[in-house]
Every structure is written in structure tokens, then in C-alpha cells.
Amino acid sequence: MKKVISKKYIKPLLVGLFFSNIATNSVQFIISLYILDQTGSTSLFANIMAIALISKIIYTPLSGNLIDRYSKKILMVVLDSMYLICTLILILAVHHSAICSVLIYNIIIGAISSAETPLVQASVPLLVEKQDLMVMNGLVSQMTVLSGILAPMVAGVAYQVFSFTTILLLSSLFFIIAIISEITLKIPMIDQEIKSSLANFKNVLTFLVSTGKKTGKLALLAGVINFIVTAFVEVAVPVLFRLKYHVASNIFGLIQAGLAFGILLAAMLTPLIVKKIKLNNVYMVDCKINPNSVRINFTIYHTM
């Protein structure tokens, strides 16, 4: 791990990713609280969150084409600069039309964020050797999850002490740190065949058809799980704890951090069970923890 993290351009990438994610997660967290506190409307809150996700879905196929065509370093700087500009505009606009400003902000941010994850994933293989790729991907995942844990905790406490615009200003500072760090990056360009978004989409459909039923089932399973989990985390959790139970913002931040920690724990446990899980029994996993040792046993139940 020391060999990977000591490379010249790895640290700027991790620092930029960390501060960018901290800022993004903090803004999204306080926007959720702000909408619920200002309107008290579950339907309005859910619709605003849904519009952001729809925007992300629409622009995700286009983002891959941009990443293939242009410098990944420049794209990173541009994305975080757009985050920064949008956040500063939101600070000025929120006093005039709060809900409308947040709605427009979520649409734009949804489009910007569609390129963020694939951009980092495409950059990592260009910065490390093949034998270091798995370790580097692990570091990227750790930074992402760590920021997901810290952001709601810090933002939840700050929301009780400072105003909405003050937290947006602090998040803007984090975006600036991320931009400065990313400017020092040097990511090489590679020569490759560039296809249109439509051609890429056709290739994906061809691949899904050619690989048979298993890939389609996995894609359907992933879609259903993501549909349920996203709806619960993005909408149900804030509504239940903030509107129904009137949980303070700092406690709500701990709850959100706990959800992120659960993702981290699942990622750590996955290597222990991944060899035992098959497509026909993935839904029947039983985890038993032995209190007298650190060993965790996973049992797969087969059903006919």
C-alpha cells in the first residue's frame, strides 16, 4: 500500500476526491434538512430528490463519452468548479426563492455528478501499475465511504450552530481545496477509438443479449435493490426521522453516518461471502457471529 500511496499523483487525487465528496455530501445533507424544515411536505421533498436522480440518469450515458474524449484532469477541475459556482449561486438565490433555487440546483448537480464516479474510475488505471490497481481502487472506495460518514456528522452539528448559507460557504471552501489539489494532477491521455453515445448504448444492449439470461437477471436484481435502497435512504429516512420523530439535526447526521458505515462494513464483509453466493441463492444469506471468537460464519440456504 505504501508503494501506491507514495506515488506523485496519487495523493492529489485522493485529497481532491475526499474534499469534493465531503462538500457534495454536506450540501446534499443540509438541502434535505432545509427542504423538510421549510415546507414540511413529504411529497415535495420526494419530488425534488426524484428530479435530481432523473437528471443523473439522463446524463450518465453522455458522461462516458465526455470522459473518453477530453483530458480527465481538466474534467475533474471543471466538474468541481461547476459544483463551486452552482453552490455560490445557490447562496445568493436561496433568499429570493428557496424551493425553486434548490430544485434547479439539484437538477444541475444531478447532471454534474453523473460524470464524477466514472471519471475517477477511468483515471485510476492511468495513474498506477496493473499490480497496484486493486489497492488503489480500495483507497478510492475508502475515501468515498469515509467522506460519506464524516459529512453528515459534521453538517448535522453545523446546521444547529450556523445558518444554511454559512454551511454552503464552508462547502464552497472544500470545493476550492479539491480544485487546487486536482490542478496538480497529471493524468496521461490514451489513444482509443471514440464512439458516439448511441453507439456505446447499442454495444451495451448487444453485450447484455449475447451474455444470456444471467447478466439480465443480475442487472434486474441490482436495479430492484437500488430502487428500494435509494427510495429508503434518500426519502424515507429523512422524512421519518425529521418530520415524524423530530430528530435534531446532529442526531440525524449520526443516523446518516451510520448508514454510510453500514456500506463500509458490507464492503469489508463481502470478500468473506462472495465465493459462496450464487445467483440462485443470493437472497438467502444467514450471518452468524460467534461471540467467543472473531470468526463470522456465513451460511447459504438453498431452496427448491
Crossing angle of helices 116-123 and 133-161, rounded to 10°:
150
Q: Of all residues in the chain, what percent are helix, strand and coil, respectively (each to 5)?
A: 75, 5, 20
Query: Can you list the domains of the chain with their CATH numbers?
Result: 8-187+237-275 (1.20.1250.20)
Mean pLDDT for the chain? 77
Collapse the DSSP code of 301 into the 3-class scheme (helix H, G, I; strand E, B; otherwise coil) and give the result: coil
Tell me: pLDDT of 64 over 70: yes
Kindly state the cell numbers that stand for 189.
Answer: 491521455
Using CB atoms within 10 Å of the CB of residue 142, give its burial: 0 to 12 exposed, 13 to 18 middle, 19+ buried: middle
CB atoms within 10 A of CB 30: 24
Element (H, E) at 56: helix 42-69
How far apart CA 71 and CA 73 sit, in angstroms, is 5
Note the pLDDT of residue 174.
95
Note the pLDDT of residue 88.
94
Q: What is the pTM of this model?
A: 0.75
Contacts of residue 33, Cβ cutoff 8 Å, sequence gap at least 6: 159, 238, 242, 249, 252
Contacts of residue 240, Cβ cutoff 8 Å, sequence gap at least 6: none
How far apart CA 126 and CA 187 sit, in angstroms, is 7
CB atoms within 10 A of CB 200: 16
Q: How confident is the model at residue 2 (pLDDT cuts 50, 70, 90)?
A: very low
CB atoms within 10 A of CB 106: 23
Contacts of residue 109, Cβ cutoff 8 Å, sequence gap at least 6: 24, 27, 28, 52, 83, 86
Tell me: pLDDT of 48 over 80: no
Rounded to 10 degrees, what is the CA torsion of 187, 188, 189, 192?
-110
Q: What is the DSSP letter of 126?
A: G
What is the average pLDDT across 248-277?
72
Contacts of residue 136, Cβ cutoff 8 Å, sequence gap at least 6: 4, 10, 124, 127, 128
Kindly state the cell numbers that stand for 295.
Answer: 470468526
More confident residue, 149 or 228: 149
Residue-wise pLDDT for 16-42, tens only, equals 999 999 999 899 888 888 888 887 777
Collapse the DSSP code of 5 into the 3-class scheme (helix H, G, I; strand E, B; otherwise coil) and give the result: helix
Tell me: pLDDT of 50 over 60: yes
Element (H, E) at 287: strand 285-289
**Nearest one of 249, 27, 53 to 156, comparing CA atoms:** 249
Q: How confident is the model at residue 294 (pLDDT cuts 50, 70, 90)?
A: very low
Note the pLDDT of residue 271.
58
Crossing angle of helices 164-183 and 133-161, rounded to 10°:
150
